[in-house]
Structure 1
Amino acid sequence: MNFQMINNPVSYHCNGNNITMEAGKKTDLFNDMCSDSRYSNFPFYHTLFEGDFVIRCKIAPEFKETYDLGCIVIFENIDKWIKFAFENADSGHPSMVSVVTNGVSDDSNGEKIDESEIWMQVIRKGNNFALHYSRDKEKWVLVRIFKLDMNKEVKVGFSAQSPIGDGCKVRFEGIEIIDNNYKNIRKPD
């Protein structure tokens, strides 16, 4: 696959199916529902993918500040995208966080995660999407399932972000982007 970078990070290193990326200070992807503010200075290592897919990897952020994160991003344009993040949430602990944007962004904090690294995946089937995490890449826990009308071809990839901090370094391991063969995207085990 041909990967490209939008908004260069402070640093990044690719080694096969592994990436280490360091986002700069005050980097974010968010369309604020409470104002007209749109933030899109996030470093985004991505490729184009057409049709149904599964994108997954293990994500290990080095949290320093609230909202520091590593994430999978599905991006059509600045007004239509999905961000599935392992984030140092404002709840006071690292969590699974999902942001679905159709004009404006919603923001949903999920389950507390005690581990320093976690497997995450996004599954697409038509315009239906399922977000899961796993501690062992065997048993997947559903975080969110939803419908979002998107183009057949979208940008899929990875980002590190530090919306209010001075930067965040994230390791992405075991990256896979494959055709989706799951019939039931809610429970892909």
Structure 2
Amino acid sequence: MNTRVDLPGVPFPLHPSEDWPWRVEADSVLVTAKPHSDFFVDPSGSGSVAAESQLNAVSLTGRPAEGDFTLTARVHVDFTDTFDAGVLIVWADETLWAKLCFEFSPDRKPMVVSVVTRGVSDDANAFLVEGDEVWLRIARIGTVYAFHASVDGTRWDFVRGFALGAEEQQVTVGLEAQSPMGNGCDVRFDAVTYTAATLGDLRDGS
């Protein structure tokens, strides 16, 4: 198993969650999602991670330095089945994490979706996307995280802000690919870039 992946735009190593092929080309990362894989803890269940969750998607994450940052990537997905997605993820442990997804909706339309999990998951649809790629960004400002998405990598739309409730030292960030209903999908993350910077405004993304 390759225990680390180094990207020129990210100043810390990324580590795969399991023995799964992640292919690096310059500042891009390509992966095929594992069949029937997801990160989701059903809010209608008991809240037991073991009984009510699917936590088997492949991810590639690393630990950022303490302080504010942004992590950005252009995400391309070859959509096939419902909920296929390329994802940016913030992870503390199995009960505490969040993800920003470029996902195939049940209506077979590409969509930006977010999920925040504190014991159980809540998810929210943001907006539809024309085409098979979009820019996604995670930002941390103090104790608050923000998700933004962009169709052109210049103008950013606010998706959601939240406090995860995890210590900075717990948190890793990175990439994820999923195919909950299908047999896998190809995902490409281009221009993956980490910046130790503070957004001027959490909501407008500037």
Preserved contact between residue 7 and residue 41 of structure 1 (Cα < 8 Å): no
**AA of the residue aligned to 2:18:** N
Distance in 2, matches of 1:79 and 1:67, equals: 21
What is the aligned partner in structure 1 of residue 155 from structure 2?
Answer: 139
Distance in 1, matches of 2:55 and 2:67, equals: 25
What is the aligned partner in structure 2 of residue 4 from structure 1?
Answer: 15
Distance in 2, matches of 1:172 and 1:142, equals: 20
**Is there any run of 5+ residues in structure 1 with no aligned partner, and where?**
none
Distance in 1, matches of 2:141 and 2:94, equals: 22
Distance in 1, matches of 2:153 and 2:56, equals: 31
Return the match for 1:21 from 14, 31, 42.
31
Distance in 2, matches of 1:66 and 1:8, equals: 25
TM-score (norm: length of structure 1) = 0.94
The answer to which of 78-87 and 29-38 deviates more is: 29-38
**Is there any run of 5+ residues in structure 2 with no aligned partner, and where?**
1-11
**AA of the residue aligned to 2:102:** F
Preserved contact between residue 89 and residue 109 of structure 1 (Cα < 8 Å): no
TM-score (norm: length of structure 2) = 0.87
Offset of residue 15 of structure 1: 2.1
**AA of the residue aligned to 2:86:** G
Of all paired residues, the percent bearing the same amino acid is 30
Offset of residue 94 of structure 1: 1.1
1:109-165 C-alpha deviation (Å, 9 max, x unpaired): 121111211111011112212111112211111111222222113110001100110
Please tell me the root mean square deviation across aligned C-alpha atoms, in Å. Answer: 1.3
Please state if 1:33 is matched with 2:33. no
1:78-117 C-alpha deviation (Å, 9 max, x unpaired): 0000110000022441110000001100011121111211
Larger proportion of strand: 1
Distance in 2, matches of 1:52 and 1:168, equals: 32
Return the match for 1:56 from 65, 72, 75.
72
Preserved contact between residue 20 and residue 170 of structure 1 (Cα < 8 Å): yes
Give 4+ residue runs of structure 1 displaced > 3 Å after superposition.
none
Aligned residues: 188
Distance in 1, matches of 2:98 and 2:28, equals: 22
Distance in 1, matches of 2:35 and 2:89, equals: 19
Return the match for 1:156 from 152, 161, 173.
173
